[in-house]
Amino acid sequence: MSQRKLFAHELEARLDDLLLLSLRQRSAKAPAAQLEALPRELQERVLHWAAVAAQTSDDLGWLIASLAAAQAADLGDEFDDWVRAGLDAYDRSGLAATRKALNDYAEACRSRAKHSAHGIAFAAIEGRLSHFLHALDGRPLKLATGPQAWTDSETLWLPERLDAMPDAAGNRGLYKAMAALLWAQTRFGSFNVDPEPELDLWPDREAALRWFAVFEAMRLEARLAAELPGLARDIADLRGPWPAALAADAAKLARPGATAADSLAALAGLREVGAGETPVFPHVGAIDPVAARRVRAARIVRDMAVLRRALNVMAATASKAGAADNPDHPPLAAEGGMQVPDPQADLLALPPAAREAAKSLMQDFGEIPPEALHAAGPGAWQPVDGADEPVTAGVTTQPDAFYDEWDYRRGSWRHGWCHLYEMEGPAGDREWVDEVRTRHAHLIRSIRRRFEALRGEDKPQKRQFDGEEIDLDAQVEARADRKSGGEPSPRLFVHRRRVERSLAVMFMVDMSGSTKGWVNDAERESLVLLCEAIEALGDRYAIYGFSGWTRTHCDIYRIKRFDDRYDAETRRRIAGIEARDYTRMGVAVRHLAGLLMRQNTRHKLLVTLSDGRPDDYGDEYRGRYGIEDTRRALLEAREKGIRSYCVTIDRHGADYLPQLYGPAHYSVIDDAKKLPRKIAEIYRKLTA
Amino acid sequence: MNLSRTPGPPDARADVSGFATPLVRHATEPYYHAIGDETGVFAAAAQSGLPVMLKGPTGCGKTRFVQHMAWRLQRPLVTVACHDDLTTADLVGRYLIIGDETVWMDGPLTAAVRAGAICYLDEIVEARKDTTVVIHPLTDARRALPVEKRGEYLEAPPDFMLVISYNPGYQSVLKEMKPSTRQRFVALDFDYPEATVEANIVAHEGGVDAATAQQLVKLGGLTRKLKGAGLDEGAGTRLLVHAAQLIAKGMAPAVACTAAIARPLADEPDTRDALDDLIRAVF
């Protein structure tokens, strides 16, 4: 590639070409002018990504091109990541979200460039902080970034980046201190008092809240010191001494019994003497009692409902079990209140969800409020499990799983791209299987004989401490050793150990429309013969069909799960395999490999029965995209220890198979009618 | 702990003492702090000839409990740490060829049956599936061990007792114990002791003062909250005792905890850093 920069008119022409701009009455003049200033290499990358994006949508391509023109210079090395973030956002939420994601990314990138090398980004410390807080709290706290540090008692907001300290360790410590104090607000009852009456007396509510936050920080630091002295010491080092004017308040609030009410009292005292400018401490965040109390109230209502429902269920079970004469489970009192084994003392008596709720209530109140311990009167509450979850009874619109898909043009994933539905395969004609078994009776007999011989081959292990036979070689050696005065080995036996095959096989059957007719018949007949063969071998195996119609309808049909037996029901489902829609293979491979991974066997094998290359309706899956995605899925499976094999009926040569499965990992059968006769032999070779 | 080892059973025409199963007799009381009625249940099961299964997370005192009970019941103890290549012969015994002679060598299980000892199979689910079947006849009314290679049918004396342990916490579905095995045992649940009790244990075993022990227990409790959120399992009492022992030898608490608690628990950087933060926060 020549290193000459492209001129604006050249860029304009290339963009117009890529994005068909003239058809849409758009002009690439402005972006081209901006792109002209960039080095050639970056210009080419912009053009490349615009082309990639245009394959998804012309509008997306235009958006990428026009934003890239303005921002590429600032992005530097992160340009590729910037585009991928945009494409990802497009897949998730569309064009408007893409614009926002790209602008945000560029903005973050610019602000990073401005900051010193010692600053710490929230993303770099999020995992560490969230583990730390989880350990302190026992319930997972949500962490998020916001313009300032504050908490609503469920989520902790922390700044996107901290730079206030001179070194990285200091900034990490500052994050920890902020987070710990916010957590302490929820843990040590900052929101248990109503500050509104006091706040109303202040002319400047914001100033009052700032002061309140400072007083609470004093109190909470002392509370932390009692339980986590090292943490409190770190915080104290970080802030330096409290200002002399506040020392008295700090001492008062550090007393063991101090509560948020004492902080309010300090606030009132300050109001009387007249408050000056609020001192700024880097680790003290903001406090928003209104938001926190709202969230806390909602949580309490939720927890109480869970707890009361659990108690109701317990009461119902107890009375059913004839609890009248059981002193541990007294019956419901007349008004519906009840005495349960005291949950304050005995959380273990509760089911897990209710136990969590009770713990959460204890954190909010310090004890479980008595009203939560009344199961509502009979009839008012129905003991229903998970009534808070959205009702989806009978509606199968919710996919069973989402899978990422590999886009080779982007060199990255499309997240949650494929919507997978798993369902029972329809039952087919019972007579059909019987007919196949009669027709192939001879073949089945010979397959069974051959496979039974394979079953449980014994492998002699030589030089064992004990065993069924004497190991002659070892014996001779030992004799010779002894004669020559050496110490003979005591390992003189041959042990025959039955070698378990320890193999699980997943058959993935193509149910695409193109299999209609001969191919489908051949697939079904092959499966019948395979089942006969594998039953003789005793391997674990499962059969699933796959088909689909675009990425939002990827269907998996259960024909035989690993635990299902090869019985009449299974045979009918084999008979019911029929040609349906398209072949989006990557997602099927990913899903079935996941099922296969759960098998406790040493060897795992994924066998695909198919009639051609991956294909899907309408979108780009046909061709290289589908092959690349499938290849990627098979590679992932191989990384997990799953070997893949493909049996294809494809009269068109199947030149893509070596690329997908690797050499010697596929069979091409040129005539569907031959498949049933060949399949058992293929399987035998594969697993010998 | 004072241990005396008596060599294995008779039949030792050649010198095979190197292969013999050690029968451990505790001369002094192994320290154990009872949490509930486990000692009573165990003693009653021992008297009734019932096998016992100990369930609980790692490092919560299962092995120590067995040692303590062996001392209390004045029976020798044979401990087998089960692994995935443990064969039936490893448990029951095998012929060895020593010089010109064929010598039978009892495996630990047979040795324990002969001696009327307590046989403790630690982490039984790790053993190969066929291995667990040999214990079946010992666990029901027969109380006998067929030693097929010698054509011997060993009836267990009244003092023989079988104890197994397993950890339901990190056991995958692939390693579940079969109901036919489970239902032969009296089962005792073990868990980490309550904080004050655990602090006593850590202070006693680790040789540290009460305040340090409390801090260690506090740290242990914090790590246990991370179970399933970064850690497979929190720090067991054993890890806390290890840390205490390092502190008693003069290590700084933070250094001791990092080495004895944080590093054994986690490799993943975020979790490791969080554990470091917790250690710093507690001390």
Read off the CATH number of the domain in which B16 is found: 3.40.50.300
Residues A224-245, mean pLDDT to the nearest whole number: 87
Residues B77 and B107 in one domain: yes
pLDDT digits (tens, 9 = 90+) for A159-196: 888 888 888 888 888 999 999 999 998 888 888 888 88
User: How much is the pLDDT for B93?
Assistant: 87
Q: Domains in chain A, please, with CATH? A: 8-114 (no CATH), 120-287 (no CATH), 291-373 (no CATH), 458-498 (no CATH), 501-687 (3.40.50.410)
More confident residue, B228 or B258: B258
Chain A residues whose CB is inside 8 A of the B281 CB are 132, 136, 180, 228, 230-231, 234
- Write out the residue range of the structural domain in which residue B110 sits: 3-189
Q: Up-side HSE of residue A651: CA atoms within 13 Å toward CB?
A: 8
Residues B180-189, mean pLDDT to the nearest whole number: 88
Top mean-pLDDT range of A146-155, A212-221, A243-252: A212-221
- Token output for A404: 């990422």
Across the interface, whether the CB atoms of A227 and B223 are under 8 A apart is answered: no
pLDDT digits (tens, 9 = 90+) for A500-553: 667 888 999 988 887 787 788 888 888 888 888 888 877 889 999 998 888 888
Residues B179 and B229 in one domain: no
- Identify the domain boundary among B143, B159, B189: B189
Q: Are strands B77-81 and B118-122 parallel, antiparallel or unpaired?
A: parallel
Asked whether the predicted pLDDT for residue B259 surpasses 90, the reply is yes
Report the percent of chain A where pLDDT is more than 70. Answer: 85
Residues B170 and B88 in one domain: yes
Asked whether the predicted pLDDT for residue A386 surpasses 90, the reply is no
Please name the member of A131, A137, A490 whose beta carbon is closest to the beta carbon of B271: A131
Q: How confident is the model at residue A98 (pLDDT cuts 50, 70, 90)?
A: confident
Across the interface, whether the CB atoms of A129 and B274 are under 8 A apart is answered: yes
Q: How confident is the model at residue A619 (pLDDT cuts 50, 70, 90)?
A: low
Nearest residue to B122 via CA among B80, B183, B78: B80
Q: Are strands B52-55 and B186-189 parallel, antiparallel or unpaired?
A: parallel
Residues B130 and B8 in one domain: yes
Residues A579-584, mean pLDDT to the nearest whole number: 85
Residues B271 and B176 in one domain: no
**Closest chain A C-alpha to B153 CA, distance in angstroms:** 20
A424 contacts: CB under 8 Å, gap ≥ 6: A557, A558, A573
Q: Up-side HSE of residue A39: CA atoms within 13 Å toward CB?
A: 8
How many folded domains does chain B comprise? 2
Residues B130 and B68 in one domain: yes
- Identify the domain boundary among B167, B189, B211: B189
More confident residue, A635 or A387: A635
Residues B105 and B222 in one domain: no
For B231, which residue in chain A has the nearest alpha carbon?
A: A131
Helix locations, A513-641, DSSP H: 518-537, 568-575, 585-597, 624-639
d(CA A140, CA A310): 22
Q: By mean pLDDT, which of A345-354, A462-471, B63-72, B95-104 is the weakest?
A: A345-354
* Partner residues linked to B4 by β-bridges: B25
Residues A294-298, mean pLDDT to the nearest whole number: 84
The amino acid present at A88, given as its one-letter code, is D
- Within 10 A of A379 (CB to CB), how many other CB atoms are there? 7
A653 contacts: CB under 8 Å, gap ≥ 6: A668
- Check CB contact of B174 with chain A, cutoff 8 Å: yes
- Give the sign of the dihedral formed by CA A87, CA A91, CA A96, CA A100: negative
Q: Where are the beta strands (DSSP E) in A118-200?
A: 120-121, 142-145, 150-151, 155-158, 161-162
User: How much is the pLDDT for B43?
Assistant: 94
Residues B20 and B141 in one domain: yes
- Check CB contact of A127 with chain B, cutoff 8 Å: yes
User: How much is the pLDDT for A283?
Assistant: 84
pLDDT digits (tens, 9 = 90+) for A26-70: 788 888 888 888 888 888 888 888 888 888 888 888 888 888 888
Nearest residue to A467 via CA among A424, A496, A500, A427: A496
Q: Given the structure tokens 């429902």, which residue do they identify?
A: A309
3-state SS, residue B98: strand
d(CA A591, CA A630): 12
Residues A437-450, mean pLDDT to the nearest whole number: 83
A654: left (phi over 0), alpha (psi -120 to 50) or beta: left
Residues B114 and B159 in one domain: yes
More confident residue, A651 or A405: A405
Chain A residues whose CB is inside 8 A of the B149 CB are 466
- Check CB contact of A465 with chain B, cutoff 8 Å: yes
In contact, A631 and A659? CB cutoff 8 Å: yes
For B234, which residue in chain A has the nearest alpha carbon?
A: A135
d(CA A594, CA A588): 10
Q: How confident is the model at residue A374 (pLDDT cuts 50, 70, 90)?
A: low
Helix locations, A338-401, DSSP H: 352-365
- Check CB contact of A466 with chain B, cutoff 8 Å: yes
Asked whether the predicted pLDDT for residue A610 surpasses 90, the reply is no
d(CA A370, CA A263): 28
More confident residue, A480 or B229: A480
For chain A, first and last CA: distance in Å?
53
User: How much is the pLDDT for A378?
Assistant: 41
pLDDT digits (tens, 9 = 90+) for B29-58: 888 988 889 999 999 999 999 999 998 888
In contact, A253 and A219? CB cutoff 8 Å: yes
Residues B270 and B174 in one domain: no
The complex scores an ipTM of 0.71
- Check CB contact of B141 with chain A, cutoff 8 Å: no
Asked whether the predicted pLDDT for residue A456 surpasses 60, the reply is no
In contact, A405 and A629? CB cutoff 8 Å: yes
d(CA A395, CA A188): 44
Best mutation target, A122, A125, A128, to test chain B (most B CBs within 10 A): A128
User: How much is the pLDDT for A394?
Assistant: 37
Surface of B (17-76) touching A: CB under 8 A: none
Q: Given the structure tokens 């893949």, which residue do they identify?
A: A644
Asked whether the predicted pLDDT for residue B247 surpasses 90, the reply is yes
- Check CB contact of B96 with chain A, cutoff 8 Å: yes
pLDDT digits (tens, 9 = 90+) for A663-684: 667 777 777 777 777 777 777 7
**Closest chain A C-alpha to B210 CA, distance in angstroms:** 15
- Token output for B121: 């199979």
d(CA A108, CA A101): 10
Q: How confident is the model at residue B251 (pLDDT cuts 50, 70, 90)?
A: very high
Chain B residues whose CB is inside 8 A of the A231 CB are 280-282
Q: How confident is the model at residue A587 (pLDDT cuts 50, 70, 90)?
A: very high
Q: How confident is the model at residue B266 (pLDDT cuts 50, 70, 90)?
A: confident
Report the percent of chain B where pLDDT is more than 70. Answer: 88
pLDDT digits (tens, 9 = 90+) for B145-154: 998 888 889 9
Q: What is the mean pLDDT of chain A?
A: 80
Residues B264 and B166 in one domain: no
User: How much is the pLDDT for A328?
Assistant: 43
d(CA A412, CA A88): 9
d(CA B245, CA B207): 6
User: How much is the pLDDT for B249?
Assistant: 94
pLDDT digits (tens, 9 = 90+) for A215-229: 999 999 999 888 888
In contact, A676 and A525? CB cutoff 8 Å: yes
- Within 10 A of B122 (CB to CB), how many other CB atoms are there? 20
How buried is residue B207: exposed, middle or buried, by Cβ count under 10 Å (0-12/13-18/19+)?
A: middle
Alpha-carbon separation of residue A87 from A82, A369, A411, B39, B76 (angstroms): 9, 50, 11, 64, 69
Q: How confident is the model at residue A366 (pLDDT cuts 50, 70, 90)?
A: low
More confident residue, B246 or A118: B246
Q: How confident is the model at residue B175 (pLDDT cuts 50, 70, 90)?
A: low
Nearest residue to A586 via CA among A604, A605, A603, A606: A606
Nearest residue to A47 via CA among A91, A11, A80: A11
- Token output for A353: 């969800």
- Within 10 A of A685 (CB to CB), how many other CB atoms are there? 9
Residues B80 and B123 in one domain: yes
- Identify the domain boundary among B160, B189, B218: B189
Across the interface, whether the CB atoms of B222 and A136 are under 8 A apart is answered: yes
